[in-house]
Amino acid sequence: MKIKYTAVFTMAIAFFFSCADSNETTQVDKKKATDFDSNVEQFSDIKVLRYQIPGFDALDLRQKKLVYFLTQAGYEGREIIYDQNYRHNLTIKRALENVYTSFKGDKTTEDWKNFETFLKKIWFANGIHHHYSNAKFVPAFSADYLTGILKETNTVLIGEAFEVLFNDKDAKKVNLDASKGLIKGSASNFYSPNVTAADIDAFYDAKMDKNDPTPMEYGLNSKLIKNADGTLVEKVWKSGGMYGVAIDKIIFWLEKAKTVAENEKQAHTFDLLISYYKTGNLKTWDEYNIAWATNTDISIDIINGFIEVYNDPKAYRGSYETVVQIKDFDMSKKMAVLSEYAQWFEDNSPLFPNHKKPNVVGVSYKTVNTAGEAGDSSPSTPIGVNLPNNNWIREQHGSKSVSLGNIIHAYNNAGGSGRLKEFAFDQAEIDAELKYGQLADKLHTSLHEVIGHASGKINPGVGQPKQTMKNYASTLEEARADLVGLYYLPNEKLVELGVSPNAEGIGKAAFDGYIRNGLLTQLIRLELGDEIEEAHMRNRQLVAAWAFEKGAKDTVIEKLTKDNKTYFVIRDYKKLHTLFGELLREIQRIKSEGDFEAGKALVETYGVKVDQAVHKEVLARNSQFKSAPYSGFINPVLVPTVDADGNITDVKVTQQADFTTQMLYYAKTYATLPSMN
């Protein structure tokens, strides 16, 4: 489970080896840390940033090699996410990249500029659908223009792969509206086109035992295919299977990482991950996750695999992602106290007693600095992660929660306060945000990941949420974790533990920001007329809209108009806190008891529909700002220094100059998969 950066509108302005060819990795001049510019470029609704890797130079050679090997392992699988997102993505991407690098014609025209932007959007989203809204990109150039530049560069793009760019087919990557067909209405490439939602339910209902206390994550690492005779088979993502050529290269680098592991347990963990990639065995995946979650005595760690299921409307199949992490020792020490008191938070939560865990096991928390990301974590990156996702592993063996400190730092340094001043009701709300907003957001992320995702239990025999909650599982889980954070932010216990300077101030700033974002500012991410599809956006509106409605009688949140602008103003923070507790208790009940109809009603009633008048107004108010609503990152480049015998003697961190340079370098260096898989 991961939390994406959503605080743009709520935070204050500041919270075999070969050396890389310099022509492929154009570098910017090194600057002092205080002069480091996080901004790279902006196009469409996207801002591209860069980040530093604090503490890298202090690592010893063994650790530097480990980081380098793990980042290489991650990058080798980066094309998988393109194919997972849509069956024609690699064909389209490679054709457009060839045009980009081969075209000798006029590059000053609007058509060419629009073509460049279109390609950059594909790079950023890992495909032709928006990374957040899931809507297919609409080219701002004509089919005739594309045909012309394809011909001029001797590039082949024909048939459905060409036509889909200009028609209305495969319009959504992930469709969560069951009335449109969860699978039929989704373009993601996890199922053959003839597979139906009913097929999937029947296939896995026959495999899964609701009374199994240690169930595997069925379907996590495969594509489900329906044969001509109607039988269903899983096309497994493993060495020798689907995506095998890329997975073999991941294995190559993991084998090297094992030789420089920090301890024997980490080496064993790498062995399990390698075995999983070789066999595709999901029991081995469970063994790996147990070993990974319980190995906390390390400084270098990795998230690597088919993990999050947000891109599958049926919530079975995991998207490929990787994050390489270096522990931030100072911040981890400060925040580890939350993990130590995880049981206190569980015991004092508003959940029904039979839905609480009697023994919260091994919730480890670290602030880390990212050293490289790929797949579903890049370029759009999470700011916090809590894994593993398998509930029984979390309950019996614990989990790891991390906050990506250097990513958050880069976001903060690239931000601005203009939107805050536009959408906050008054100066008092602005002042509170500037004083406490950045820390409140950091604490909310920590509570969301460390306490939120680790809390609560499912009743025996109910089954896993992907079975019981189906297409609503992700939204409800994210809402539950958010509510845990919101419930505890105003608690004096955080002050007592030394992680919060002011319970009331932090709580108010967090509540203001959450309501403001959930009901207003996140709407700038949608096209007028759209409903909310993305799980995190649904979760935030659900929580805010439910609290607004349920508190109407007591005017807990007041909808006001000032200077013809709409605001949502909290009038009673204590009652809002109570409402958050009530909703948390209900969502946990829904999950614990497998109450699908109640979960569906919550999401559909409060999380999907958008007030079109408010949306139109928000878009108009936001039009004055040049800063894009979405941000993501290019990665630093780790360049090994080798001696005459090919041995690595050092690893240096460099920065690439721009987004295009990095994407073309990746396309050349890590292109392993066939265009159709």
- Segment 324-366, tens digit of pLDDT: 999 987 777 767 888 889 999 999 999 999 999 998 886 788 8
The helix or strand, by DSSP H or E, that contains position 201, with its residue range, turns out to be helix 197-205
CA 600/CA 580 separation, integer angstroms: 19
Residue-level pLDDT at 70: 98
The answer on pLDDT for 626 being more than 90 is no
Residue-level pLDDT at 14: 28
| Average pLDDT of span 122-130 | 98
- Residue 239: how many CA atoms within 13 Å on its side-chain side? 13
Residue identified by tokens 């004055």 is 624
Do 577 and 490 touch, CB atoms closer than 8 A?
A: yes
C-alpha distances in Å from residue 504, one per residue of 241, 412, 508, 511, 544: 55, 23, 6, 10, 20
Residue identified by tokens 């130590």 is 340
The answer on pLDDT for 619 being more than 90 is yes
**Portion of the chain with pLDDT greater than 70, in percent:** 94
Q: For the ranges 9-13, 385-389, 524-528, which has the lowest average pLDDT?
A: 9-13
- Gyration radius of the chain over CA positions: 24
The helix or strand, by DSSP H or E, that contains position 2, with its residue range, turns out to be strand 2-4
Stated length of the chain? 677
CA 115/CA 478 separation, integer angstroms: 36
Q: Report residue 17's pLDDT band, with 50, 70 and 90 as the boundaries.
A: very low
- Please classify residue 105 by burial: count the beta carbons closer than 10 Å to its beta carbon, then call 0-12 exposed, 13-18 middle and 19+ buried: exposed
Strands in 5-56 per DSSP E: 39-43, 46-50
Residue-level pLDDT at 415: 59
Do 614 and 523 touch, CB atoms closer than 8 A?
A: yes
CA 100/CA 110 separation, integer angstroms: 15
Do 242 and 676 touch, CB atoms closer than 8 A?
A: no
Residue-level pLDDT at 31: 39
CA 127/CA 173 separation, integer angstroms: 9
Coil/strand/helix, residue 114: helix
Crossing angle of helices 535-550 and 596-603, rounded to 10°: 90
The pLDDT mean for the chain works out to: 92
Token code pair at residue 486: 């919101």
DSSP state of 525: G
The answer on pLDDT for 112 being more than 70 is yes
Report residue 508 CA to chain centroid gap.
27
The answer on pLDDT for 127 being more than 90 is yes
The answer on pLDDT for 459 being more than 80 is yes
Q: Catalogue the long-range contacts made by 204-213 (C-beta closer than 8 Å, 24 or more residues apart).
A: 204/316, 204/467, 205/467, 208/463, 208/464, 208/467, 210/461, 210/462, 210/463, 210/467, 211/460, 211/461, 213/392
Do 660 and 113 touch, CB atoms closer than 8 A?
A: no
Residue-level pLDDT at 628: 85
Q: For the ranges 2-11, 73-82, 290-299, 454-463, which has the lowest average pLDDT?
A: 2-11
| Average pLDDT of span 552-575 | 97
> Which residues partner with 385 through β-bridges?
2, 402
| Average pLDDT of span 475-496 | 96
CA 635/CA 571 separation, integer angstroms: 43
Coil/strand/helix, residue 489: coil
**Portion of the chain with pLDDT greater than 90, in percent:** 81
Sign for the pseudo-dihedral over CA of 474, 479, 485, 487: negative
Q: Report residue 10's pLDDT band, with 50, 70 and 90 as the boundaries.
A: very low
Residue-level pLDDT at 174: 95
| Average pLDDT of span 271-300 | 97
DSSP state of 350: S
| Average pLDDT of span 538-551 | 98
Sign for the pseudo-dihedral over CA of 365, 367, 372, 376: positive
Edge-to-edge order in the sheet of strand 399-404: 2-4, 382-387, 399-404, 363-375, 320-327, 300-306
DSSP state of 444: H
Coil/strand/helix, residue 90: helix
Q: Report residue 323's pLDDT band, with 50, 70 and 90 as the boundaries.
A: very high
- Mention every residue, 6+ apart, whose C-beta is less than 8 A from residue 532: 526, 538, 541, 607, 608, 609, 610
| Average pLDDT of span 290-317 | 96
pLDDT digits (tens, 9 = 90+) for 25-66: 333 333 344 578 899 999 999 999 999 999 999 999 999 999
The answer on pLDDT for 416 being more than 70 is no
